């Protein structure tokens, strides 16, 4: 991946240098996106070794969820096996897919019940066997105490689902569910951990990804003091799955900030906002740094930021895809040095998911309810 990111930066620098020699304003740098037909509406993406899993939604079909494997020019439709004991599995829409090359873990949801709450379903399998839904007891993910589920995560140590649940003290605590031997999932107790709310500190998580054997949860914390309510970006890191979480307050939080998403290898790159502008941090497991010079692109509470792409090195380059006014942009660079690429073609936001095809220069993303790809060569 280091070669990929470097190639993008070198190309952009060359274009800027040519324009500067002529004393003319730099020409807008554009990227062309090609629409990819997967036979249904794409809603989720996962990637491993250059292959792409596309979670799709078959509107009006008896079985709504589907998964398509893209391997270069080849397409494969995975077998999807909902359970008759779980009626909402037939209507599930993918909220998150995780894939490590062997295992696939899916989190699905469908609105139902008297109040239209999301009924969550969990799926496991592989690209060879397809995905099987595993019925859970109603109060595993649902009920009066339920919050919002966020992510499916695979680590070398095992599988996890993340979300929120009625707080022990107040509000909604951040929560992690782990699988049991009988394909049932069990919520881990957040009591007396950094995932628990207190009277003076509220926890809110938005996304989770693998960080070694552990998890990295992104979000924000809200401090409640006399005459003060302050929201600051934060991440929560565990040593192994749900064990030994620590909270990390991200630096330079401004008056209001949040960490939306992250990508981790040896180090993590975290994307979010500070004072409603795009912000990017690095976290090496010991300390965090907000990168300077990031283009001031508006990011609101409801805007979705797909995970950034990075070469994994401590000072390497970063790519962040973002939609501004429904126009897809690619922000790339490193500390103090950034370039923004505009998109051309029929592509429009909002952007809801993006993955990179291994060490290739090809990026797939979901924008405006369609799947698109581009090559940054």
Interstrand relation of 130-133 and 80-81 (parallel, antiparallel or unpaired): parallel
Sheet order of strands, 41-48 included: 41-48, 51-57, 65-71, 74-77
Rounded to whole angstroms, the Cα distance separating 142 from 176 reads: 14
Determine how many CB atoms are found less than 10 A away from the CB of residue 59: 9
Q: Which two tokens stand for residue 182?
A: 């009988």
The secondary structure of residue 139, as a DSSP letter, is G
Contact 269, 333 (CB under 8 A): no
What's phi and psi for 268, nearest 5 deg? -115, 145
Rounded to whole angstroms, the Cα distance separating 279 from 290 reads: 7
* SS3 state of residue 15: helix
Sheet order of strands, 146-155 included: 146-155, 158-166, 172-179, 185-187
Contact 214, 237 (CB under 8 A): yes
Q: Which two tokens stand for residue 141?
A: 């993910």
- Cis amide prior to 39 (ω within 30 degrees): no
Most distant CA pair in the chain, distance? 69
Contact 360, 3 (CB under 8 A): no
269 Cα distance to chain centroid: 12
The per-residue pLDDT for 1 is 45
Taking the model in full, what pTM does it have?
0.91
pLDDT tens figures, 57-66: 999 999 999 9
The per-residue pLDDT for 18 is 41
Measured CA distances, 246 to 107, 143, 287, 313 (Å): 25, 28, 12, 23
pLDDT tens figures, 230-249: 999 999 999 999 999 999 99
Contact 289, 336 (CB under 8 A): no
Rounded to whole angstroms, the Cα distance separating 100 from 57 reads: 22
Rounded to whole angstroms, the Cα distance separating 305 from 299 reads: 9
CB within 8 Å of 373: residues ≥ 6 apart: 33, 34, 36, 362, 363, 364, 365
- Cis amide prior to 161 (ω within 30 degrees): no
2-375 CATH: 2.130.10.150
Contact 96, 151 (CB under 8 A): yes
Handedness of CA 81, 86, 90, 91 (dihedral sign): negative
Per-residue pLDDT of the chain (377 residues; tens, 9 = 90+): 444 444 444 444 443 444 334 444 444 489 999 999 999 999 999 999 999 999 999 999 999 999 999 999 999 999 999 999 999 999 999 999 999 999 999 999 998 776 668 999 999 999 999 999 999 998 999 888 999 999 999 999 999 999 999 999 999 999 999 999 899 999 999 999 999 999 999 999 999 999 999 999 999 999 998 888 999 999 999 999 999 999 999 999 999 999 999 999 999 999 999 999 999 999 999 999 999 999 999 998 888 999 999 977 788 899 999 999 889 999 999 999 999 999 988 998 899 999 999 776 799 999 999 999 999 87
Determine how many CB atoms are found less than 10 A away from the CB of residue 364: 21
pLDDT tens figures, 205-224: 999 999 999 999 999 999 99
Of 116, 118, 75, residue with least CA distance to 94 = 118
């Amino acid at each position: 991946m280091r070669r990929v990111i470097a190639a993008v930066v070198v190309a952009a620098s060359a274009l800027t240098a040519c324009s500067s020699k002529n004393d003319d304003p730099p020409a807008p740098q554009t990227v062309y996106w090609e629409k990819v037909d997967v036979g249904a509406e794409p809603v989720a993406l996962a990637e491993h070794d250059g292959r792409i899993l596309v979670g799709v939604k078959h509107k009006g079909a008896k079985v709504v969820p589907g998964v398509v494997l893209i391997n270069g020019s080849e397409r494969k439709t995975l077998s999807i096996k909902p359970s008759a004991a779980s009626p909402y599995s037939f209507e599930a829409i993918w909220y998150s897919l995780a894939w490590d090359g062997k295992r696939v873990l899916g989190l699905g949801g469908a609105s139902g019940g008297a109040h239209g709450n999301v009924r969550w379903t969990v799926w496991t399998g592989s690209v060879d066997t397809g995905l099987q839904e595993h019925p859970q007891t109603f109060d595993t993910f649902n009920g009066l105490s339920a919050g919002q589920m966020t992510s499916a995560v695979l680590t070398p140590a095992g599988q996890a689902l993340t979300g929120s649940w009625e707080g022990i003290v107040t509000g909604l605590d951040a929560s992690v569910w782990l699988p049991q031997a009988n394909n049932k999932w069990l919520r881990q107790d957040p009591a007396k951990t950094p995932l628990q709310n207190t009277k003076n500190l509220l926890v809110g998580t938005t996304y989770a990804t693998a960080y070694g054997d552990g998890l990295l949860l992104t979000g924000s914390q809200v401090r409640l003091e006399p005459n003060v309510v302050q929201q600051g970006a934060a991440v929560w890191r565990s040593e192994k799955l749900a064990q030994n979480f620590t909270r990390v307050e991200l630096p330079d939080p401004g008056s209001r900030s949040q960490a939306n998403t992250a990508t981790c290898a040896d180090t993590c790159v975290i994307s979010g906002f500070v004072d409603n502008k795009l912000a990017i941090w690095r976290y090496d497991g010991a300390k965090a740094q907000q990168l300077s010079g990031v283009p001031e692109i508006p990011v609101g509470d409801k805007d979705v930021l797909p995970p950034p792409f990075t070469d994994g090195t401590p000072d390497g380059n970063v790519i962040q895809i973002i939609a501004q006014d429904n126009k897809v942009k690619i922000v790339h660079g490193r500390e103090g040095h950034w370039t923004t690429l505009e998109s051309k073609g029929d592509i429009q936001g909002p952007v809801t998911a993006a993955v990179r095809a291994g060490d290739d220069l090809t990026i797939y993303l979901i924008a405006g309810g369609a799947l698109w790809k581009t090559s940054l060569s």
